[in-house]
Homo-oligomer: A and B are copies of this chain.
Amino acid sequence: MNRFMEQFMKSGYKLTRPRRLLLERLEDLDRPFTAEELYEMMNREGIGRATVFRTLKLLLDIGILVRVHLEEGCQHYQLAAGLPGEDHHHDRIICRFCGKITDLDECPMRNDVAAIAKRSGYRLQGHHLDLYGICSRCDADNQKSH
């Protein structure tokens, strides 16, 4: 009964065997993953295709997962950072080598974003920022292997 299961129960849905197994796997996944990757894992334990896709949709809805759009290849998922229901702010920095994603705790936007937006004629509602770079681990690895 990990933190995901508790959060899941609160949502009112039944905590079934397939869902429990899936939520267990999530513990380990520290990288974005595709539906197909998850399906292959779960299918080894007998979980059906439809169930995996249905559950993914549920977890998005509940807020346990968020969709991630990487530079190439969309339709990835990852654990939602921070607490659900909170301000939906997901500025982040992504390693171009290994795909690791770290959420920024500070928003690096200038104060005059709103002004810039207004000049373009839009009423601003929100934003999403992705920084790209190389994480320290990959950076170190690449130094060595050269």
Size bracket of the A interface: 35 or more
Decide yes or no whether A11 CB sits under 8 A from chain B: no
Task: Determine the distance from Cα of A136 to Cα of B119 in the docked complex, in whole angstroms.
Answer: 11
The listed residue (B95, B106, B125, B127) touching A129 by CB distance below 8 A is: B127
A-B contact pairs, 27 of them (CB 8 A): A69-B74, A71-B128, A93-B124, A95-B122, A96-B125, A102-B121, A102-B122, A104-B116, A106-B116, A108-B109, A108-B110, A108-B112, A108-B113, A109-B109, A110-B110, A113-B131, A121-B135, A121-B136, A122-B131, A122-B136, A123-B133, A123-B134, A123-B136, A124-B131, A125-B133, A126-B132, A127-B130
